[in-house]
Every structure is written in structure tokens, then in C-alpha cells.
Amino acid sequence: MRLHRLQLRPDNPATPALASGASVTLDAYLLHNSQEFQVNRRRPAVIVCPGGGYMGLSDREGEPIALRFAAQGYHAFVLRYAVQTLFPAPMHDLALAVRAVRAHAAEWQVDPDQIAVCGFSAGGHLCAALGVFWDKPFIYEPLGATPEEIRPNALLLCYALIDLLLIVSHPDGLNEAGQPVTNRQRMLNKVLGSYTPAQASLEAYALDRHVSPATPPTFLWHTADDPIVPALNALRFASALDTQRVPFELHVYGNGPHGLALGDAVTEVDGRLLDPHAATWLPLALEWLARRRAQP
């Protein structure tokens, strides 16, 4: 395996550096082109977008996911996109990542027609956002890209936030005026720029309302009792896909906390965030992707 780190530094100021001063990066886990088997094979790729509420990025939902995909024959990538910055900057970051993988397809032996994006929680919102907006000028024009360059071929949405209002709101300290602020308000502030954003802004990022026949095929999984991002997010997006006749597969597990990641010992924390049943999501997603590739 070869490891690369790409700096995604466009001329467009809409994709700024992270608040911490670190730049937006794409870590590439590229499988070696062995001369013993599958010589010069073009492999599928997956770009992983960790969650973190657009406030930070979860390491548990980054490299461990990429390595699991790599073990199954994928070239895998982890995008460290802009956080604590306003939309659509994170979408521009993911669009640039897709374009970069597609642009390097010959060099990296990637199948340019088999580039999936896989997001967790807020990272799932980001993947779904690109999935519904990839063909909109406000995404591709500032990047000097064409829609075809930035279109993902499949979406993998893992306990993804779909509607910014469909998140359980908990007290999260005080604002500058000493007034109570919730975690939902802080996320809305970081994404939309105001604790009381305009209704038009909220509707823009209620992604199920923007599903169209151009939305890529989608695999979704969630847990029914997710205490932070309710399963209604997945159900509404799946319903919209069904209405638009976009191929999809949906798995809602009966139980499990938010943030399961792989759901196994690799991404557990102090014996928590383990669920062998929900951990079946990855084999199911791999099977779904394989069936998609096999279709004419």
C-alpha cells in the first residue's frame, strides 16, 4: 500500500483553511499494483468523510473505515474537510476530493466510474449534500469544474444527518450574551451563520427535499433508537429516493448508539460503541456496491 497526502488548495476562497490553521487534506491509501495478480486492474474507490457535527472530525470514522475498505480491494481516501466554517465550503472540499481522485484515475489505477463517498453523521450530511447538489452551478462553477468531474457514483450514508433540524438538541453552554445555547444552535451557527437562520437557508440543507433522478444510488444505515440523529433522517431520504426512482438500500437496526463507526473492537471506546449486529453494515454495503458494479 502507498500512502499519499494531498493538499486541496483551490484558488476559490470558499474553501478556506480549517479554523485550527491546518489545511484541507485528502489522505490516499492506494493498493500496490502487484505483478502477481490482478495486474493493472482499475479498482473502485471510496472517499470517507468522518463526522463531528461540523465542529471537528472524528478519527474513529476516518482511517479505520478506509483501511477496512482497502482490505476489500478498494483504493480508499479520507477527507479532512473544512469545519467551523460556513456552507458550502465543506461541499466544495468534497467536490474537489472527487475531482482529484477522478483526475488521478490513470496514475492511481482507479475506475473513474466507481467512486463512492461514505459519510458518518455530519459527514453523511456532507456526502448527501454533494449527492443532491453536484449538478448545481453554485457547487461546480466556483471550482472551475464540470458537474461530471465532481459527481460521486454512489453514496454510503451512515447514521447521516439529512435535515439540520432533525437532530436532538441538548444544552451546550451559554452564548456571548449569557443565554443558553444548544448543540443544534451551535451547529446551525457554524453551517448557516446564525443562531436564527432564515427558513430558506434551513430548507436548502434539508436534503431530502432536493433528491432528484440525478442523485446517485445510495446505501443508508441507521439505528432506530439513535439518541442524537433520529432514524427519521434516513427514512425521509430513502422515501425521497424511492419517489424519484433512485436505486437505494436501507438498513435500520433496532438498537445502537450514535457514532458506532465500524461497530466492532477496532473503533470501540472504553468498551462502548460495540454492536455486532449493526457491525454487519459494512459487509452489506460492500455487497451492495459489488452488485451495483455488476449491473450493465
Name the CATH superfamily for 2-166+208-294: Alpha/Beta hydrolase fold, catalytic domain (3.40.50.1820)
Strand partners, 75: 45
Q: Where are the domains of the chain?
A: 2-166+208-294
Distances 214 to 70, 152, 184, 217, 294 between C-alpha atoms, Å:
28, 11, 30, 9, 20
Q: What string of pLDDT tens digits covers the 296 residues of the chain?
A: 788 899 886 444 444 433 334 479 999 999 887 667 666 688 999 999 999 988 889 999 999 999 999 999 999 999 999 988 888 889 999 999 999 999 999 999 999 999 999 999 999 999 999 999 999 999 999 999 999 999 999 999 999 999 988 887 666 665 556 666 666 777 777 677 655 666 667 787 899 999 999 999 999 999 999 998 999 999 999 999 999 999 999 999 999 999 999 999 999 998 889 999 999 999 999 999 999 887 75
- pTM comes to 0.90
